[in-house]
C-alpha cells in the first residue's frame, strides 16, 4: 500500500484494510455467482479493494457503527458502479436467449414435450455448444438458481446487508437450507451443481467426469435448479412449490422430506456468521 503527502495511509488504516480484505473477496464471489462468466473477477476485486481503502481512511469509530458494516456499504456501492460500467449481458446474448425461448415454446407445443438441446439447436441453426454457452450466460445472470433473486439491475445483484436481526436470521436460515438442499440432491445433480456453480468448473470437464454430453449436463443443471428451488420453497414457502403428479410427485416429496430432515435451525445457522458471511469450510 502506497503513501502520499495528500493521503497518508496510517498503520491503523492499513490494519483495517488487511483485516477486512476477505470481505471484498466474499462480496465479489457472491456477485460472480449471479452474472455471466465473462465478468472479470480482477476488475471487481480492484474496485472493491479501492473502496475498502477509502472506507478505512474515512471511518470514524466514534459514530458507533462497526467498520465491517460501514465498509460493506462502501464496497457494495463500488461494485454496483463497476457492474454498471460493464456490458455484462450483451444485446446479442439477450436476443439469442429470447429467440431460443420462443422456439422452445413452439417445439414444446408441436412435440407435446420439452425439446432436447439438439432439437432446439437444429431448429435455430446453431451448434449445441453455442446454445449451451448462451444459456449458461443467461442462467449465471439470473441465478435465482441458488439464491432465489430475480434477474435485474446491478443494484439488485449486490444486496444491501443492512438487515435487522429477524431478517438476518431468515437470510441465514435460507442459506442453511440451501446447503441441505444441495447435499440432498441425487449424486449426478449434486455433481453438476457443485462443479458448475460452486467450483466454477467448465461444463466440458463436468461432462467428461459424468460420461455424458455437454448438452446433457445443461439439462441436468436445469433439473437441479428446479429441484433446489422447490426443495427450499417446500420448507420456507410451500405455496410457491410447483405441482406435479405421479412418480415425479412421489420423488419430489421424498426429496423435500430429506431436505427437512437434514438439519436443525442450529446446524443451518452454523454455516454462516452472525453477519451472514459463509463460514470457511
Residue (of 145, 168, 177) closest to 36 by Cα position: 145
pTM for this model (two decimals): 0.44
Question: What pLDDT does residue 130 have?
Answer: 78
Phi, psi of 185 (to 5 degrees): -65, 150
Q: How far apart are CA 168 and CA 112, in angstroms?
A: 44
CB atoms within 10 A of CB 176: 21
Question: What pLDDT does residue 161 have?
Answer: 47
Query: What are the per-10-residue average pLDDT scores of the chain (281 residues)?
Result: 48 85 87 70 88 87 76 86 62 69 81 82 83 67 39 48 64 87 93 87 91 91 89 83 77 90 88 76 56
Residue (of 44, 43, 42, 52) closest to 75 by Cα position: 52
Amino acid at each position: 500500500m502506497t503513501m502520499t503527502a495528500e493521503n497518508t495511509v496510517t498503520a491503523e488504516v492499513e490494519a483495517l484494510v488487511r483485516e477486512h480484505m476477505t470481505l471484498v473477496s466474499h462480496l465479489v464471489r457472491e456477485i460472480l455467482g449471479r452474472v455471466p462468466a465473462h465478468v472479470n473477477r480482477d476488475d471487481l476485486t480492484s474496485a472493491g479493494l479501492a473502496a475498502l481503502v477509502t472506507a478505512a481512511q474515512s471511518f470514524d469509530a466514534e459514530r458507533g457503527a462497526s467498520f465491517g458494516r460501514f465498509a460493506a456499504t462502501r464496497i457494495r456501492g463500488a461494485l454496483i458502479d463497476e457492474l454498471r460500467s460493464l456490458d455484462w449481458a450483451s444485446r446479442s446474448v439477450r436476443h439469442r436467449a429470447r429467440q431460443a425461448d420462443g422456439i422452445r415454446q413452439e417445439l414444446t407445443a408441436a412435440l407435446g414435450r420439452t425439446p432436447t438441446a439438439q432439437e432446439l439447436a437444429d431448429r435455430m441453426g446453431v451448434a449445441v455448444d453455442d446454445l449451451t454457452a448462451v444459456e449458461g450466460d443467461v442462467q449465471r445472470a439470473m441465478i435465482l438458481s441458488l439464491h432465489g433473486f430475480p434477474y435485474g439491475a446491478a443494484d439488485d445483484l449486490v444486496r444491501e446487508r443492512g438487515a435487522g436481526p429477524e431478517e438476518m436470521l431468515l437470510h441465514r436460515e435460507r442459506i442453511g437450507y440451501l446447503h441441505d438442499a444441495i447435499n440432498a440432491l441425487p449424486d449426478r445433480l449434486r455433481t453438476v451443481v457443485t462443479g458448475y456453480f460452486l467450483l466454477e468448473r467448465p461444463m466440458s470437464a463436468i461432462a467428461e467426469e459424468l460420461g455424458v454430453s455437454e448438452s446433457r449436463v445443461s439439462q441436468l443443471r436445469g433439473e437441479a435448479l428446479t429441484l433446489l428451488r422447490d426443495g427450499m420453497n417446500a420448507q420456507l414457502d410451500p405455496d410457491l412449490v410447483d405441482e406435479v403428479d405421479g412418480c415425479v410427485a412421489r420423488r419430489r416429496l421424498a426429496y423435500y422430506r430429506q431436505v427437512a430432515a437434514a438439519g436443525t435451525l442450529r446446524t443451518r445457522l452454523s454455516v454462516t456468521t452472525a453477519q451472514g458471511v459463509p463460514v470457511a469450510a
